[in-house]
Homo-oligomer: A and B are copies of this chain.
Amino acid sequence: MPTGLRPSTSSSCDAAIFRPIRASLQQRRKEMPKLSPLRKAEEIASTFGFEMAIVDLERLFSKEASEDHPLLRRKLAGPSAPFPAERYAGKPLRVAYQGIPGSYCQEAAAKAFSSIRCEAFPCSHMEDAFQALEEGDANQAIVPVENSIDGTIDRNFDLLLRHQDVEIIGELVLPVNHCLLSLKGTSRSDLRRVISHPQALSHCRAKLEGFERHLEIEEVPNAAEAARYISENRITDTAVIGSRIAAKEFGLEVLEQNFQDRSENFNRFWQLGLGAQHQRRELGDAWKTTVAFSLEKGVSDLFRAMWIFESRDISVTKVDHRPNRSNPIRVKEESTGDHKYFDYVFVMDVEGSASDSSMEKALKVLEEISGFVHVLGSYTCRLKN
């Protein structure tokens, strides 16, 4: 480490200087029960601010003594629990996926369970996959969460917040493979038209513009549905941009695979189950925990919530929010009158397992500034090709 990275006056900034502050904090905490509820809330926030600042300084001091930057260290530890293959030994695993046959979600289900016997079935309404779990029709469900170019599918957060028995038990990241599909025997020169979902079409815009002949482009709400349509109606002049599994489902030909313009195009899926169905930990698997919470003081305290994790070397990888439906509007009394704010439930992904001691501590501290804290799941993340 170059000497420039060490404060030249580190000896004069000994961690002992924090002792009187810590003592005063203890004193303030002792006196808290005597305060009015409003004062108490302010006092909690204020002492918490002190605490944060001290933890930060102490951590930075201790970092100076170490070659290893704590922010760059990763925790991969987590609980080891039976894999569904063992749990459901003998019986095929029943897996619900969102969408219809031929969808990218079916493809994800096939990849997630490639090594075990499973029966995957479609759920055309998103909520049906959650109900299938709750009613015991499915052992697991696969739902899409995010695309690296188009963003997050908020609706599945809402469903996960509503169906509190359902937990995230795994994450799967798959490179998108948009295939140019047509009837068997059709050649590229027969094509006059290409149809797909607007998102898939936008992912392939440059490829379509550079296609050897002009193709009429048509948007449809569902690419798998379109694949079934050209198959059933024997349409020879039209290609569909769809999944590889759609070709298999509907007997279509893959004219070209990886038809998308960009290689940084990935889909994230969640495996869902009814509590405690943890995946077997494999070497190199990273763990993630997803936690939902509200904040007593609203969005202004979100940095504190993140800090609770980051200051314990737990990296935050995503922060989402949904309306706080139990209390969507927060009214704050101010000198200029009452002010109304939209209020949210936050959904945060952090690296590590909920059973790590530092994560347990962080979750406990988070409760101090939250209306509620609910772990939506603690799970392994797999990147499949």
Residue ranges of A at the interface with B (Cβ–Cβ < 8 Å):
2, 4-5, 7-10, 12-13, 17, 20-21, 23-25, 27-28, 31-32, 34-35, 39, 42-43, 45-46, 49-50, 52-54, 56-57, 60, 63, 69, 71-72, 74, 76, 146-151, 154, 173, 262, 264-266, 268, 284, 286, 298-300, 302-303, 306-307, 310, 315-323, 325, 327-329, 334, 336-337, 339-342, 383
Contacts and interface: CB of A to CB of B under 8 A. Distances in A.
A323 B9 CA distance: 43
Contact of A310 (B20, B53, B303, B336): B303
A5 B45 CA distance: 12
Contact of A334 (B56, B72, B318, B322): B72
Contacts of A60: 46, 49-50, 53
B265 A328 contact: yes
A20 B72 CA distance: 27
Given A21-B13, A148-B323, A76 B316 contact: no
B53 A69 contact: no
Nearest to A58: B53
A81 B268 CA distance: 46
Contacts of A147: 323
B302 A316 contact: yes
Contacts of A316: 299-300, 302-303
A7 B21 contact: yes
A310 B317 contact: no
Nearest to A383: B340
Given A9-B20, A302-B306, A323-B151, A264 B329 contact: yes
A28 to B, nearest CB: 6
28 contacts: A2-B31, A2-B34, A5-B28, A5-B46, A9-B24, A13-B20, A13-B21, A49-B60, A54-B57, A74-B336, A146-B342, A148-B323, A148-B342, A149-B325, A151-B154, A173-B340, A264-B329, A266-B340, A284-B336, A299-B317, A300-B310, A300-B316, A302-B303, A302-B316, A303-B303, A303-B316, A317-B342, A320-B321
Best-surrounded residue of A71, A300, A321, A325 (most CB of chain B within 10 A): A300
B76 A328 contact: no
Given A56-B52, A76-B336, A328-B265, A7 B25 contact: yes
B323 A299 contact: no
Nearest to A158: B151
Nearest to A328: B148
B300 A315 contact: yes
Given A5-B43, A8-B24, A322 B74 contact: no
A17 B74 CA distance: 33
